[in-house]
Structure formats: C-alpha cells, structure tokens
Amino acid sequence: MSEKKASVLQGFKAFLMRGNVVDLAVAVVIGAAFTNIVNSVVKGIINPLIGAVGTKNLDSYSSCLKGPCTGTGDSATGVRILWGSVLGATLTFVITAAVVYFLMVLPMSKYLAKAEARRKAKEGTQEIIEVTELEVLKEIRDALVAQRGSGHSER
C-alpha cells in the first residue's frame, strides 16, 4: 500500500513539474490580474461613453417581455430581458480579446516570424558555405590528381 502511495505522489510530482502546468498556472494568475484592468476600462471609459447616450450603468438596460414591468431588484414585476448586462459582458469580452491580440499575440507572432526568417537565412547561408567548401575540396582533389598525373608522365 505504501508503494502505491509513493507512486501516486511521484506521479503527482511529475505532473506538477511539467512545464505546461506551470505555464497554465502563470496564465491563470495573469488572466485574473488582467480582468481587473479590463473591468476598470469598461467602467471608467466605455460605460461613460455609452452614458453620454443613455445611462452609465449598462445593467439598467432591459426590455419588458411580459408586463406590467415595474420596480427593480426583488420587487420587480413582469418578465424582463436584461440585455444591458449581456451587452456589458460582450464589451468586456471584446476589449479583453482585442487587448490580448494586439498587445500579446500579434507582437509575439511578428517576433516568431522574424526569428524563423533569421533561422532560414542562416541555414541558407550555411548551405551555400557547405556547397562552396565542397566545390573547393573537389578543385583541390582535381589539382592533386592532375599534379600526380603530370609527375608520373615526366618519369
């Protein structure tokens, strides 16, 4: 039984030590911190811009599906569709996706493309050098063969 516990603990340790688990944990922590930034942008910039047209609080936008729709919160009557909260969540998602794409994914893609181009250019240069070295070695061989041939014919 203790061997089984030891193997389970060893397996758990191996699972935790894999790189992708650590990367995932870092991503979750960064994502949680980033959520606060996005929520602040939505509350501090987007909602006031929308508030210039209507109310600052998107959650207050709703439509009455079955009336009479009166009151708010627990005392509300009727059936309401709270499309304002859906709009707010959608805006938060779009802003998050845009920031992640433009500040993280796009620069990383450009960097990786440049690194790949440099690697290919370096490999291409290496191939040219190798071909050139091969040609030089062939010329040396041919010169040695010619030299030996001319040396044997004189004797």
Structure confidence at residue 74 as a pLDDT band (50, 70, 90): low
Tell me what the mean pLDDT of segment 98-118 comes to: 86
Q: What pLDDT shows up at residue 111?
A: 92
pLDDT at 154 over 60: no
pLDDT tens across 111-128, in order?
999 999 988 888 777 667
Structure confidence at residue 155 as a pLDDT band (50, 70, 90): very low
* Percent of the chain whose predicted confidence (pLDDT) is above 90: 6
Instruction: Look up residue 155 and give its DSSP letter.
Output: -
The encoded tokens of residue 136 equal: 């030089």
Backbone angles phi, psi at 66, to 5 degrees: -140, 115
**Residue 8 CA: distances (Å) to CA of 11, 18, 20, 59:** 5, 16, 20, 48
Structure confidence at residue 110 as a pLDDT band (50, 70, 90): very high
The encoded tokens of residue 12 equal: 């758990």
Q: Tell me the pLDDT of the chain averaged across its residues.
A: 78
Pairing of the two strands 79-81 and 63-66 = antiparallel
Structure confidence at residue 41 as a pLDDT band (50, 70, 90): confident
Tell me what the mean pLDDT of segment 89-114 comes to: 83
